[in-house]
Structures are given as C-alpha cells and as structure tokens.
Structure 1
Amino acid sequence: MTGTTPRVIVIPPKPELARSRTVQRQLRVAAYCRVSTDDEEQLTSYEAQQTYYTDKIMTNPQWTMAGIFADEGITGTSAAKRPEFLRMIRKCRQKKIDLVLVKSISRFARNTVDCLNYIRVLRALGIAVIFEKENINTLESDSEMLITMMGAFAQAESESMSANIVWGKRQAMREGKANVQYQHLYAYELDESGNPRIIPEQAAVVRQIYDRFIAGHSVRMIKKTLEQQGVPTAKGGDVWSESVIRSILKNEKYCGDVLMQKTYTQDCISKKQIRNVGQLPMYLMRDHHEGIISRDRFNQAQAEFARRNAGRAPTRKLAPTGRSCYSAKYALTERLVCGECGTLYRRCVWVKRGQKFAVWRCASRIDYGTKYCHDSPTLREASLQAAILAAINSVMSQREALVGQIEESMRMELIPFPSGTVSLSDIDRQLEELDGEFQALFAESKDGGFMQHAEEFKRISDDMAALKEQKASLLERQNSDSAANGRIKSALDILSTGSGAFTEWSETLVRQLVDTVKVLSADRIRVCLRGGIEIEQTLGEGELQ
C-alpha cells in the first residue's frame, strides 16, 4: 500500500451551475427617502421619490424590492425622530437588506456624526449605501472621506437654516408678535374669529387654585381638594397632576401677560431645551389678552413660591431653619421659632400611658440633643394653640384703635421708591429719544463715516443699556411691593371683617395673620402678627418642662 501511487479523482468544474446560482441570488434593495417639511409641495416630492425608487428597483432584474422607507416632515438632524429610518436599520441588522439607495447624503442625515456611525454599522454588515447625487458607494475605500465632507456640508446647511429661523422668531418677539397656543391653555379657548376667550367654569377653578395657594395650601393639598370636588381636568379626567397645578400658578398668561423666550434650543443637532435664566433676553408683553386673575394676585403667588423655596435644603439636618422643604399641613411648622437658638420647632406625637398627644420641640434638640440648644422647652400643642388664639383675640378686641398702626406697618414693609427716581414712562420716553438719535446718526454714517461717530455710538449704546437695567430694577421692585401689599391687605381684611373672638384653631387664619411665634420660655411666647404687631402671651397649664 505504501509503495503504490495514490489514486486521485478529479471532479470537473461546472461554471454554468455557479452562474445559475448567481442569477437566482438577487440583491435585496431598499430605498430611503425623506422630506424636510410637511408642506403640500414637499409631500408631492415625497410621493415622486417613492414612485421613482419603486420603478428603479423593480425594473432591474438583478434586484428585488426590500421596501421603501420614508419619513414625512421629520427633521434630519436626529435619527431618533425618524421611525422609518430606524426600522430600515433594524432590517439591515436582521440581514434582510443587501443594498440601500438614497438620493443624497442630506436625505440620509444632516448630522455628520449620525451619518458616519450608521454608514460604518452597515459597512460592517456588508451592506452598501449608494448616494445617487454624489455618486458614492460606501463600500469603496475612498468613500468615507467624501461622505465626511458632504455630511459636514449638509450639517452646516441645517445649522444655517436653523439660525435663520431662530433670528426670525426673535425678531418677531422684539416686534411684539406672540404665538400663544390657547387651545392647550387651561381655561381658555378660541372663538369663531380665532381670538382667545375665557371659559367661565374653568376660570373659577384657576382663581380657586391661586386663592388656596396664597392662603398657604400646598400643591398636593390643592390637587386633593380639586379631586374631592370632582373638578374635571382640561381633558375631562378626574385626576389632577401636581405639575399642571404648578404650571398654572407660574404661568403669567393667566394675568393677561405673555413672557417670550423663557426657554431656548441649545443647537439644532441635540435640540435640547435650556431654561433661560439670563443667557438671552426675554420679551414681556403686558395686557396681551384678557386675564383671569389680577397682576398683583399673580405676583403674590410668585412671592409665595420664593418664600417657600427660601428654606429648602438637601436634607433636614443641612437646613438652616431645621426643615428641608415647605410644609402646608401645620401653620406653625414654619412659624414657631426657638428663642434660644433660632431654629424652627417641629411637631412630634408622644404616647404617654397609652394616650397620644402632640407636642412641639426645637428641631436642633431633636437632631443634635443639647449640643447647640440647651434649655429650649417642649410645649403641648393644645396649650400653644390656645395662647396664640388668645393673642390674636386681644388684637381683635381693639381692632379700631390698631387700624392706624397696621397701616403704618404696611408703609414700613413696602419698599418705597427712592426720592427723585424717574418713572417707567420717563425711561421709555428716554429710550425712544436715544433710539431716534441712533437712527439719525446711522443714516449720516452710511457713506463710510462710522469710525468718525464711534464715540457717539458707544455713548448712546451705554445710555440705553443703563436705562434698560434701571427699568428692569424698577419693575422688579414694583412686583415685590405689590406682593407685600397683597399679603398685608389680606390680613387687614380678616381683622376688619372678623366678628367677635376666635374660639377654634384655624390653620388658614394663622397663616394670614401670624408671621412668627417665638418661644421665650416654658410659659411665655411672643406672637408677631403680619404688619409688625407683637404680643407677649402666657401659656396655660399643660406645657412640658
């Protein structure tokens, strides 16, 4: 066996069989098309693209249809917002597509990074993308450099278009052209002429929300109240969202104003919305439409938001006041103060001999023992509430003699404008004069004399900037004054309309009348009413040492 020559059988080739298999294996070709807007003309273009690619694929005997994927009126800068494009990529990964036809790189993606990433993914799968306008096949070696350049041009074109659109919108804001979506604004609707109209039933709900919030109720409490009353939401549901109530309280449109550019888009690629906290100018249009609440009422709500947020902290121990957030359940939570360390008191429930009773203790004593606060007393809630009511009733019994004192405290609390300060109308008039001076100077300098008037241009620009800053300061101070005036007025109304002595504890009453309650000792407290009136009151029996 070892000495014999091995016998080899030669199997002849069969090229006709290989050719038949090649003919049978057609390429599964898909096409992707996209239009930039949903206008009627663009949709016609979209239909034309579909017809073109269907004819092109079906008339080629070596190709078979794998699908037409088309996105209508969708942005090309983000693949996440193009469902048909993502569906095509999924089919490619499932090995159901061999070739993709696209009219141009800008139709495939206007984001250079996305364009290259998806092309590389398809290339790794052995799938070619053919861009007809640029005559590029992505499986060729030199295609990536060309695609990078063309993709960058497409992205630059998109950025240029976005910049033009943004400029146009901001110019419209400067000219006072507001685009308010009243159909999505609770308590408003559009009439037959397209003008905004108030819905009376929903407007009453908006006023109720503002009244309860300013009275001290939390957003969660307002939500619970609306649901208990069976008040329907904007869509007719019976479950209210806290975010919706909060947006109603913070939306200036309910007082008839429109504030534009509260947010802005970071760039046309990510399309991330950024809150405008001073990066860009904002444009306020007063009395743009009929308001549901007064501007003073709206300012009171914003002042209440600021007051509640003032004591926020990541944790209760890090809070300087002993609380980490606003609490609306008990009025004394943010009013009862330790006379020794200045920390707020906290409500606790004790159990003694099988009976539960509420007490108030210094938050510093609860968290740190006697390390910072040594002698603060613990007070029973019943005796504390009785003493505070007694202090309020002592004021109610002599309300006529105290009216002058409360009005004087109101003038002391409101921040008056400094003497000699110009009014808002004076500032507006000066701005108009400076603008006219600027336009006249600009017309004289059209023939090349800009450099000669550079100092005058700078002076006018600096004067206008200073006036605008002064105007913003006056508006902010005016809003603050109206909010303080509203809070004191509500307290005066209660004092004026109340009849007789208060015999039952009311959280709403305490929020309206009482500013702070300082614990002086185990049997002595000082009640400070809104407006600056202070009453020292002795606690009855029942306090704990």
Structure 2
Amino acid sequence: MIKQLKRVAAYCRVSVESELMQSSITNQITHFTHKINNNPLWQNAGVFADYGISGTNIKKRPQFNRMIALALQGKIDLILAKSLQRFARNTVDLLATVRQLKEHNVEVFFEKENLSTFSHDGELMLSIMASFAQEESRNISDNVRWGIKKRFEQGLPNGRNPVFGYDWVDDDLIVNENEGWIVTKMFKDYADGKRVRDIVAWVNQTGAKTRKGNDFMPATIKAMLANPTYTGVLLLCKEYVGDPIIHDRHKNKGELPQYLVEDHHEPLVDEETWQKAQQRTEQNRQPERNRKKVNAFTGKLKCKDCGRNFQRITQRYKDQIPIYWQCYSRRNHLVECHSINLDEFILEKIAARTLGIKKFDTDFFREQVEVIEVEPDGTMEFHFTDGRRKICKYEKSQ
C-alpha cells in the first residue's frame, strides 16, 4: 500500500516594509521550502507570505486568509510557522483560528516555541504565549503613540497622507500647479451654488484623477469641501486608533488633543469662500430622521470574486417587487465578475439558521456578524465579531 503524503504548508510574515525585512521574509520562505521538500513523508502545499502587514489583525492579511481557506477546504494537513508572533499577535484571533483548524483536523506547529496545536496542553500554552505577544504589541503601540504625540506638539505631521492639489516635499505641502487651480474653482463654484454632481462632472472632464488614480465621485468632492487643509492650515490628530490589537480607527471628536498649525502652507481657498462653502454644506444636511435607514446586510456582503460589496436592488416585476443583492462590480460593469444574485428573503433564512435563532433579527445579526464572504458558486463564509467562522451554501430552494 502507498502511504498518502502529509500536505504541509508554511506561513511567513514581517510587519515592516524595508530592505532588511525583505531579506528576512526571503530567508523564512527559503527555510520552509527546503524543510518541506526535504521530508519524504511531506507534500508541499505552498508557502504563504504577507509582507509589511501587522500581525494584530488577520482580516488584512490576504495570504494568511488564502492559506486558511485552503486548509478548511481539506487541502492542507499541517501548517508550519516560525513563531506565534509570526502567526498572530491577537490572542482571540489566534485561538479562534487554531480551534477552527482543529475542527477540520489541521495541525499548526510553531518552531520557536516547539509547540503543536495537537499536543495535550497545546491550547493552554497557546493562550499564555499569545497573551505575552499581544501585550508586547500594546507596549510597542504605546511607544509609537508617544513619538507621534511629540511630533504633533512640534507641528510635524505623522506620515504624509496624499492631498489632491498639493505635493509633499519632506514635511511641507507644496501647491501642485496642475491640480491647485481645480481645487480653487471647485470651492468657488460650490460656494456660488453649483451642485456637487455638476462639479464632479466638470472635474472629471478636466482629466484629473484622484491620488489613487480613480475618477472623482460625489463622496470624494464632499470630503474635499470639508478639508481645512485647503485654507493653509494643518490639523493634526484628526483620527486615532483606539485599540492597537483590533485597529479600530475613530474620528477624533475631543477624545484626544488636536493640534492646529496655522500658515503651514500656501492656501488654495480664501477664508470667505471657505466659510460660504461650509455654510452651504450645513444648510444641505438633512435631519437625522430623514436619512436612509441602513439595511441589515448593508456593508456585510463581500464578493470573493472581485472584492466589492453587494448592494441592495429593488425592482418592480408585474405585481411583485423582488428584493435581491448584487455585487457592485457586476451591476456597474466595472470588472468581469462571476458572482450570483442573492435573494434577500433567502439570505434572512440562512442568517437566522446560522445564528441559531428562529426569526431573523436585524440588530442581533449586525451585532454578531462582521462580514459574509460570498463565492461565485454560492459558498458563504460567515465571519463573526468574536472571531469564529462558519461556511454554508446559498441555495434558492431554502
């Protein structure tokens, strides 16, 4: 009888993009490739590597998530990792992932700690070691925050977020001659009563692109119209990260001190035009009660084929009004996408069954479910807010 080879994969990660770290991750990949290939009882199932990505959150690690998906599909038997810290610093993420893999009979082995998740006291040791790794992340974050605060106190920005109309030269903003006049005219037109949709059309006609190389959208223009940077000031600490482990970013509404650097750079908008634009924005704001209510699945359905969210579609057909969800890319023909449409009534039944409740409850669903990733074949992976995952199948007969 021919003994089936164990399918073995490895995971590598470094959190900082640099020449030194590039060498480090290359060494990790080489080490694991040789180790797997030189074992006659092992079959290479791939070496997965994330470069320049933090280990405190698994959601933003594409190669890690790809590896886990393959493992859950029964294509990997053993995962090797250099250490717990390379695998995950977040204790909740680590334990949830390890438990999920164990349910699918997938082992994880950490070389530095010489620890297997299949060992008798594996989970206890994982909890202890992961807690130390998580606390180390918090200490590093505290040191980084202290450095950022000192820069703010000196009137220096932390990083250089791209600003349309300007170019960064060291810590200074210099007017971009090809873009600056567009910003000035945009503010003047808006202050004079021109609609945002008309401004969007005009800006796109100029051939200008956003800093990400995209066409301008109404939301982009509205954000620019509310940015005080165009008046020549630099407002520091507009946002902050609450918990360094889950990276929850918030707008600073007084929780932390802000720093205003006046006359920092050449303004593109004079004070009078700026005030008129802000007054008009305030007048256009609708009362909270008239704003569109967020649906249960809004922002929760993500297409695995193209990465876009699904949007809610309501269409009248004879005497019926079917409600379904369709991938944004497919509906707007942005890229080739093979996603399927999802009937809202069936979605509610699947969600209720997955959550273990008799009747679908919007508030409970949004509280428990982080996101649902939908494959073109209808496979749906529920990502819960507590780190758990569950896979089910979308079928119209449900």
- Please point out which of 194, 197, 200 is paired with 1:223: 200
CA distance in structure 2 between the partners assigned to 1:28 and 1:221 by the alignment: 58
CA distance in structure 2 between the partners assigned to 1:119 and 1:207 by the alignment: 54
Deviation of the 1:225 alpha carbon: 5.1
Number of the residue aligned with 1:292: 268
Please tell me whether residue 234 in structure 1 is matched to residue 213 in structure 2: no
- Please point out which of 304, 314, 317 is paired with 2:289: 314
CA distance in structure 2 between the partners assigned to 1:172 and 1:92 by the alignment: 44
- Please point out which of 47, 52, 56 is paired with 2:31: 52
CA distance in structure 1 between the partners assigned to 2:19 and 2:55 by the alignment: 18
* SS across alignment from 1:277: coil
Identity fraction in percent: 36
Number of the residue aligned with 1:426: none
Number of the residue aligned with 1:359: none
TM-score by length of 1: 0.49
Deviation of the 1:178 alpha carbon: 2.1
- 1:286 alignment partner AA: E
- 2:276 alignment partner AA: Q
Number of the residue aligned with 1:9: none
RMSD: 2.6
300 and 131 in structure 1: CA distance in 2 versus 1, 3 angstrom threshold: same
Deviation of the 1:219 alpha carbon: 2.2
Please tell me whether residue 185 in structure 1 is matched to residue 163 in structure 2: yes
Checking the alignment, whether the CA contact within 8 Å between 1:231 and 1:238 is kept in structure 2 is no
CA distance in structure 1 between the partners assigned to 2:253 and 2:19 by the alignment: 39
* SS across alignment from 1:70: strand
1:498-521 Cα distance to aligned partner (Å, 9 max, x none): xxxxxxxxxxxxxxxxxxxxxxxx
* SS across alignment from 2:185: helix
CA distance in structure 2 between the partners assigned to 1:251 and 1:118 by the alignment: 41
Deviation of the 1:44 alpha carbon: 1.1
* SS across alignment from 1:284: strand
- 1:42 alignment partner AA: M
Q: Which runs of 5+ in 2 are unaligned?
A: 292-398
Deviation of the 1:99 alpha carbon: 1.4
CA distance in structure 1 between the partners assigned to 2:32 and 2:55 by the alignment: 20
302 and 79 in structure 1: CA distance in 2 versus 1, 3 angstrom threshold: same
56 and 296 in structure 1: CA distance in 2 versus 1, 3 angstrom threshold: same
314 and 143 in structure 1: CA distance in 2 versus 1, 3 angstrom threshold: same
Please tell me whether residue 211 in structure 1 is matched to residue 192 in structure 2: no
1:27-52 Cα distance to aligned partner (Å, 9 max, x none): 22211111121111122111111222
Displacement over 6 Å in runs of 4+: none
Structure (1/2) with the larger strand percentage: 2
Checking the alignment, whether the CA contact within 8 Å between 1:265 and 1:271 is kept in structure 2 is yes
CA distance in structure 1 between the partners assigned to 2:59 and 2:50 by the alignment: 12
- Please point out which of 78, 81, 95 is paired with 1:102: 81
214 and 116 in structure 1: CA distance in 2 versus 1, 3 angstrom threshold: same
- Please point out which of 126, 145, 149 is paired with 1:170: 149
- Please point out which of 65, 89, 95 is paired with 2:68: 89
Number of the residue aligned with 2:321: none
Deviation of the 1:150 alpha carbon: 0.8
1:484-540 Cα distance to aligned partner (Å, 9 max, x none): xxxxxxxxxxxxxxxxxxxxxxxxxxxxxxxxxxxxxxxxxxxxxxxxxxxxxxxxx
Structure (1/2) with the larger helix percentage: 1
Residues matched between the structures, number: 290
Number of the residue aligned with 1:274: 250
Deviation of the 1:169 alpha carbon: 1.0
- 1:186 alignment partner AA: F
Q: Which structure has the bigger radius of gyration?
A: 1
Q: Which runs of 5+ in 1 are unaligned?
A: 1-19, 317-545
Deviation of the 1:301 alpha carbon: 2.5
CA distance in structure 1 between the partners assigned to 2:58 and 2:159 by the alignment: 29
180 and 58 in structure 1: CA distance in 2 versus 1, 3 angstrom threshold: closer
Please tell me whether residue 159 in structure 1 is matched to residue 138 in structure 2: yes
- Please point out which of 205, 209, 224 is paired with 1:248: 224
Deviation of the 1:153 alpha carbon: 1.0
* SS across alignment from 2:289: coil
